[in-house]
Structure 1
Amino acid sequence: MDLKQIQYFIALFEDGSVTRAAKRLNIVQPALSMQISKLETELNSQLFERGPHGMTPTDAARQMYRLYLPIMRDIDHAREQLSRHDVIVTGRISLGMVASEAQSVLPESLALFNALYPHVEVSVADGFSAQLIDAVEAGRLDAAIINRPRGRLSLDTSPLVVEEMVLVTSAEHGPALPDTMTASALTELELVLPTRRNGLRGVLDAALLNADIVIKPQFEIDLLTTIVQFVEQSSIATIMPRVVVQRKVDDGLLRATPISAPRIVRHIVCVSHPKRPIGPATTELIDIIADQIRRVTTGIEIADPDPANGNQA
């Protein structure tokens, strides 16, 4: 396995199409296919399911993507730093984040960023999406990572990640569930959810409303860490973005069950003021955070699957 093969694999994983990935890499399609086949032979594992609608990654591919993406980023960063070793980047970044992302991936993201930009000061505030939008508009924040708002904004908006929301139960105390839950079956469960002030609740309610499904939680709590702890210790279930609970799922403390009919996702975007463009260091920190989200929630789509949606929730 060499760096070129890993680069080809990552491009194909993210683009889901040999045609698009080859165009992105500026190579011919047979060359890409040959390198992926060699990689599969070397690993003795199939990485993609070939189908009429593109290349679908297998579980082995998802694991490989999670492991190798940060390594490739580190290599790219090292090359960049070596090419501009005489330049010291300084300054201050003021970033806002919705709490679900800040609690999940911020520590690792800041550690990676600090290794690259040790002379840049970083201030991070968390809050609800509406609060963070106001702070960006007022100039108190350079940018904010938020749930995609339902209406159009005067701010510049860039899509970052599309995250799956899953049904979460305690591995020890939770009810027995099928491998996949239909959204209509959620009405039969005792649930704890964020309040309606929280953007996560808005995403959930909007998706269920479109399917003519109404759920009434037994508990409403805005502290996500409290919700997760409550679920872990009880038979109560919740619905959360996978990034919030994946580590406890990996540790065997929680179960995360996919939801279908409809599948529920939330769109994470970055907002900034059009008259105050963000600098390269801020862009780098946002990219690192988005990569960390993708790393935790391997296999989730990376871009908005329907760009025509614009800023609509």
Structure 2
Amino acid sequence: MDLKQIQYFIALFEDGSVTRAAKRLNIVQPALSMQISKLETELRQKLFERGPHGMTPTDAARQMYRLYTPIMRDIERARDQLSRQDAIVTGRVSLGMVSSEAESVLPESLARFNAMFPQVEVSVADGFSAQLIDAVEAGRLDAAIINKPRGRLTLDMVPLVDEEMVLVTSAALGPDLPPAVDAAQLGGIELVLPTRRNGLRGVLDAALLAADVVIKPKFEIDLLNTIVQFVEQSSVATILPRVVVQRKVDEGVLCARTITSPPIVRHIIRVSHPKRPIGPAAHALIEIIGDEIRRVTTGVPADPSAS
């Protein structure tokens, strides 16, 4: 087992697709598949099951990811510190984030970032994707983390994370539903959803429209914390990214169910102005945020050495 194989494994684990992982690593798909196969042979463990919706990690893969991810972070940090040759990064980062990410992972991300770059000032604004795009275009923000829009943008776009959206119910008061729910069943469930101004609603509507599924929410609210609290105290369900509800799911307060046929996935991207490249501090903060999103949604424990 070498570092390259571990990097390939982590990319496939996080992306869930040979195609996306190979693109992320800038290699051809057969090379990735061959290295994963060699790794499985060496470990004498099956790491992934191929299914209609991508590569599903086995229990052995989850354990391997949990053990090796902190090691790879340490290696990357060591390489970064050596390349900087003790240079102190200073300045200011102005970042925009959609509320679903800001409310879910921003405190932990800022704590890690501040430990690594204590000389850097940070300003974070939240809002809808369209508002944040306007702010980046106008130069009010260095970059923004948003839901990928359906239309074309004049800004530079970099994929960060693909997130599963799940059906969420109260553990105590919610309806009795199976662990996986077909999208066609959503029309018969009482729902509270974000309004159509919200990028999350756009992702949901687009996926259901493609599957010829129609839903009519009883309640529409843009405050995600209010939606979560409402669902927790009622029999009403919602559909939100897993990162928004995972902590309450882990606490046993909420239940999250996979949506199938089709699965509903939102794509988180970073946008920045092509004429105003972002600096190393902004790059680092955005990478930490993406890492925190993956940590929360995969259930991988926090890396104590990261902060």
Query: TM-score, normalization: structure 2?
Result: 0.85
Pair 1:37-2:47 in alignment: no
Going from structure 1 to structure 2, the CA distance change for 1:54 and 1:211 (only over 3 Å counts) comes to closer
Alignment of 1:1-313 (within 5 A): 6-7=6-7, 9-14=9-14, 33-39=37-43, 41=44, 46-49=46-49, 56-66=56-66, 68-298=68-298
Distance in 1 separating the partners of 2:42 and 2:190: 49
Q: Which amino acid aligns with 1:266?
A: R
Question: How has the CA–CA distance of structure 1 residues 57 and 220 changed in structure 2, closer, same or farther, with 3 Å as cutoff?
Answer: same
Distance 1:203 1:287, change over 3 A: same
**Local SS of the residue matching 2:236:** coil
How far apart are the structure 2 equivalents of 1:290 and 1:166?
Answer: 19
CA shift for structure 1 position 210? 1.9
CA distance in 2, matches of 1:53, 1:235: 30
Distance between the aligned counterparts of 1:247 and 1:127, measured in 2?
22
Query: Over residues 213-234 of structure 1, what are the superposed CA-to-partner deviations in whole Å (9 max), with x where a residue is unaligned?
Result: 2211111111101111111121
- Change beyond 3 A, Cα 1:168–1:8: same
Question: After the TM superposition, which of the residue ranges 147-156 and 59-68 deviates more from structure 2?
Answer: 59-68
Aligned length in residues: 293
Distance of 2:220 and 2:33 partners within structure 1:
51
Change (3 A) 1:222 1:251: same
TM-score w.r.t. the length of structure 1 is 0.83
Structure 2 residue identity aligned to 1:276: R
Per the alignment, in what secondary structure is the counterpart of residue 258 of structure 1? Answer: strand
Query: Structure 2: any 5+ residue segments left out of the alignment?
Result: 300-307
Shift of 1:138: 0.8
Deviation at 1:14, TM superposition (A): 4.8
CA contact (8 A) 1:63 1:298 kept: no
Gaps of 5+ in 1: 300-313
Give the distance between the partners of 1:207 and 1:49, measured in 2 at CA: 25
Q: Deviations over 1:191-220 (max 9, x none)?
A: 111111111111111211222222111111
CA 1:210–1:3: 2 relative to 1, 3 Å: closer
Q: How far is 1:5 from its partner?
A: 6.5
Is the contact between residue 18 and residue 32 of structure 2 (CA under 8 Å) also seen in structure 1? no
- Identical-pair percentage: 74
Over 3 Å counting, the alpha-carbon distance change for 1:179 and 1:54 in structure 2 is: closer
Amino acid at match of 1:297: T
CA root-mean-square deviation: 2.9
* Deviation, structure 1 residue 135: 0.6
